Amino acid sequence: MSGETGAAQPAGLRILRFAPAKLNLTLAVVGRREDGFHALHSVMMPLILGDAVAVTLASGAAGARGDTLRVAGLGLPVTPDNLVLRAIAAARGAVHATWPGAPSTPPALAVRLAKRIPVAAGLGGGSSDAAATIAAALEAWGAALSGDALVTLAASLGSDVPFFLAGGAALVTGRGEFVAPLPDLVGESPAALIVTPRLAVSTAAVFEAYAGGERPRTQAALAVSERLAAELRAGLSGSALVSGAADLAAANDLLPATLSVAPSLAAFRVALERLLGRPVGQSGSGPTAWVLFPSLATARQAARLVRLGIRDGNLPPIGDGDPFVAATVTAGRAGITMVVESNRSGGVA
């Protein structure tokens, strides 16, 4: 997204971007920063599960009608503080003096968002939407930002947003603003079963509980996280990642705090692990549980088993309705590129 600026796109041309969900395969909290944020060490990986963002350049100046957002799919209220609208406003402010139409203000954008990632789930959906929107907005305006300016812009919108600029697995440190890309897995990409209870879990409340003492007694998560990053740099295979799932599932320092904020998650996670016979991890501050599988076919079988377990009462009821259940695949850079091209040819629902 950096480089030379070009001509703005003609009004009416639709620009499509894929916005993948992410998994925290590890999440270690390594201290408290002077700015009040917690410092993290997390290996994160994108998924083929994702949202789709379509941006159209409107005619006229930005103030003539304003940016608009329409959402289809999973329910999401459109409010002025929505990350997509904030991303457009922030990008416009960052390039207003350098885009091809300067000194005029970059024009308004109309955005359609096909929402497939559960909201407030620990999967980074809003952050990914913001990163995808920044890319689409810059293309629509024929504008560009340097790498550093792009990261600064992304970090101003949220801690997870810079990760989605990497386009693949990455080691994320600081509060999320330091992103070191990691090599793709070697061989076939493993699959992941995603189970998200329809349960509101506030990230701020989870970190507050962590600061109040709801935390692991050891620094095992940091050791696992450092080892995973080193193994990826050395050429980790997808099968080896699945084999080490038990260590990864235990390497989330926020899990005790999440369970203190949402106690009903504890029994649900125990029942889920018993039902599937595999380690159950947590993405971010939750409530999403993830389970790794060697193939998409086995993950889909597990998804059917979970849905049956919900129906038959083998999984305890939790939250407001049945959990979101999806089988997907961890995504390397090539996989993300394929989905992007598919979205461009197929459009946004």
Contacts of 88 (CB under 8 A, 6+ apart): 67, 109, 111, 133, 137
Q: Is residue 193 within a helix (H) or strand (E), and if so which, with residue range?
A: strand 191-196
Tokens representing 153? 């812009």
Q: Is beta strand 28-32 parallel, antiparallel or unpaired with respect to 109-115?
A: unpaired
Candidates 22, 67, 129, 184; catalytic one:
22
Nearest to 204 by CA among 34, 85, 36, 63: 36
**22: annotated active-site residue:** yes
Calculate ∠ Cα 65-68-72, nearest 5°: 155
CA distances from 62 to 65, 67, 109, 133 (A): 7, 7, 8, 16
The residue annotated as part of the active site, out of 51, 67, 129, 160, is 160
Q: What's the farthest any 2 CA atoms get from each other in the chain?
A: 63
What tokens were used for 258? Answer: 């999440």
Q: Is the CB of residue 52 less than 8 Å from the CB of residue 343? A: yes
Phi and psi (nearest 5°) for 297?
-60, -45
Known active-site residue 160: yes
Q: Which residues are catalytic?
A: 22, 160
